[in-house]
């Protein structure tokens, strides 16, 4: 009768008796050789001790029944909390496993029954390969789970902003996603590509990292919404992401100081995206503020108030002559001579007053787009004066 089964049984008994001592020796070696392990909190070190002991016990069972498939990942890592994969990186875990294997390997002469050393060494080598695969599987699963959770969290942040529900909770969620503290924030809205939503989100993140921007994004129906931070040039920053949007308008909301104030930027961008159909030749991307006339005509009360407060009221405050001259000039199809005849003044007087309009509003009445914005502002201002 072959002595092999007896030698294996004797080796198994020695492994069982030595499990605790081997785990202790492995932890002592880690403490000596791995500085990052020494600096870990005591509770994490204790969890690692349990993992090391579980690994040695799992090897003993695996060695006892080599013909039976073993679920190494469940046996070894099932004792540790899921949060441990966030605390200990994959390279650190590899170091822990290597250290434990080395400790066991150094004791093979005393662990194996006499004459069974080579079999134990070969089994340990094979087991180390299995545990390496198991480790990769555990971390891959943790990364997949974390990725799915992050995607849901990011979608919740974007959804909250679009619904106008920004609060302190949104800051903690964004922080968990790696959002920093940029000096300014803006929201960009465009059409979503006809592709898997997660692929679209991943594409925005890659482009954002390349441009060194803080980015949060989400697909909302047919819209792609991007929250940008870390730039003082919103249009230029959006151009670095423009390839990720489907054809159609891409509207950039106004800059705001922080994420809590981004509701206003989101609302302006959404309003601009809806109204942009009225300006077919709008640039891409386009600022939501450049779409104020279209937004106002589409029923956006905020846009109406902004046009009245930023254009009509300052013109009214600058004097009736300025407001009257601009109104007549626009009604006369932008004709200096026609406006001068209607006002009974010299054309140079009209020119001077139009230059004053530029000083007050920043808009040039002789330019078609500015003239349109001024015309809508005058109409809204008159209507607001009647309503008040």
Domains and CATH numbers, the chain: 4-145 (1.10.490), 180-297 (3.30.70.2730), 301-387 (1.10.10.2840)
What's the rounded Cα separation, in Å, for the pair 5 and 126?
19
Two structure tokens written together for 355: 């230059």
pLDDT of residue 159: 83
Q: Average pLDDT for consecutive 10-residue bins of the chain (388 residues)? A: 70 88 89 87 81 81 70 53 63 82 89 88 83 70 56 79 78 77 90 88 88 88 90 91 94 92 92 95 95 96 95 90 89 83 90 92 92 94 84
pLDDT of residue 1: 38
pLDDT of residue 147: 55
**DSSP 8-class letter at 226:** E
pLDDT of residue 70: 54
Two structure tokens written together for 339: 């406006």
Evaluate whether 380 touches 293 at the Cβ level (below 8 Å): no
How many residues would you count in the chain?
388
Evaluate whether 134 touches 76 at the Cβ level (below 8 Å): yes
What's the rounded Cα separation, in Å, for the pair 12 and 53?
15
Rg of the chain on CA atoms, in Å = 35
Evaluate whether 296 touches 307 at the Cβ level (below 8 Å): yes
Evaluate whether 14 touches 104 at the Cβ level (below 8 Å): no
Evaluate whether 325 touches 228 at the Cβ level (below 8 Å): no
Residue ranges with strand state E in 177-273: 185-191, 214-220, 223-229, 251-252
What's the rounded Cα separation, in Å, for the pair 31 and 153?
37
Give the chain's mean pLDDT: 84
Q: Order of strands across the sheet with 251-252?
A: 214-220, 223-229, 185-191, 251-252, 286-287
DSSP secondary structure of 59-92: HHHHHH-TTS---HHHHHHTTS-TTHHHHS-HHH
pLDDT of residue 142: 57
Evaluate whether 52 touches 27 at the Cβ level (below 8 Å): yes
At residue 228, what are phi and psi to the nearest 5 degrees? -115, 140
pLDDT of residue 132: 75
What's the rounded Cα separation, in Å, for the pair 335 and 339?
6
Characterize 92-113 residue by residue with b for buried, 16 or more Cβ atoms within 10 angstroms of its Cβ, and e for exposed. Answer: ebebbbebbbebbeebbeebbb
What's the rounded Cα separation, in Å, for the pair 303 and 267?
10
pLDDT of residue 2: 44
Q: What angle do CA 34, 39, 43 make, to 5 degrees?
A: 110
CB-count exposure of residue 121 (10 Å: 0-12, 13-18, 19+):
middle
pLDDT of residue 336: 83
pLDDT of residue 358: 93
Two structure tokens written together for 255: 């800059």
pLDDT of residue 240: 92
């Amino acid at each position: 009768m072959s002595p092999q089964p007896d030698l294996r049984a004797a080796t198994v008994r020695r492994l069982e008796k030595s499990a605790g001592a081997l785990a202790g020796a492995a932890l002592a070696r880690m403490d000596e050789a791995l500085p990052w392990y020494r600096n870990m909190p005591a509770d994490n070190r204790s969890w690692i001790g349990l993992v090391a002991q579980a690994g040695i016990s799992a090897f003993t069972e695996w060695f006892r029944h080599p013909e039976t498939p073993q679920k190494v990942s469940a046996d070894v890592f099932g004792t540790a909390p899921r949060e441990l994969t966030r605390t200990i990186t994959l390279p650190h875990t590899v170091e822990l496993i290597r250290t434990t294997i080395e400790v066991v390997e150094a004791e093979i002469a005393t662990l194996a029954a006499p004459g069974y050393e080579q079999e134990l060494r070969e089994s340990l080598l094979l087991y180390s390969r299995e545990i390496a695969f198991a480790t990769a599987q555990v971390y891959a699963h943790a990364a997949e789970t974390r990725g799915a959770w992050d995607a849901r969290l990011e979608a919740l942040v974007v959804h909250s902003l679009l619904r106008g529900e920004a609060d302190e909770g949104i800051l903690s969620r964004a922080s968990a996603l790696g959002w920093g503290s940029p000096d300014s924030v803006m929201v960009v809205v465009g059409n979503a590509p006809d592709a898997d939503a997660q692929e679209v989100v991943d594409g925005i993140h890659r482009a954002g990292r390349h441009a060194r921007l803080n980015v949060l994004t989400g697909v909302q129906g047919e819209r792609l919404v991007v929250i940008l931070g870390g730039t003082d040039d919103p249009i230029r920053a959006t151009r670095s992401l423009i390839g990720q949007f489907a054809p159609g308008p891409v509207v950039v909301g106004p800059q705001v100081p922080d994420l809590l104030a981004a509701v206003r930027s989101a609302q302006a961008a959404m309003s601009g995206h809806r109204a942009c159909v009225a300006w077919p030749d709008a640039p891409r991307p386009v600022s939501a503020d450049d779409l104020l006339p279209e937004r106002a005509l589409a029923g956006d009360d905020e846009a109406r108030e902004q046009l009245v407060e930023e254009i009509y009221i300052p013109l009214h405050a600058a004097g009736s002559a300025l407001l009257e001259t601009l109104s007549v000039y626009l009604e006369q199809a932008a004709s200096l001579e026609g406006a001068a005849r209607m006002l009974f003044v010299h054309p140079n007087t009209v020119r001077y007053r139009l230059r004053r309009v530029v000083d007050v509003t920043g808009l040039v009445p002789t330019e078609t787009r500015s003239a349109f914005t001024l015309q809508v502002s005058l109409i809204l201002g008159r209507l607001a004066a009647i309503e008040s």
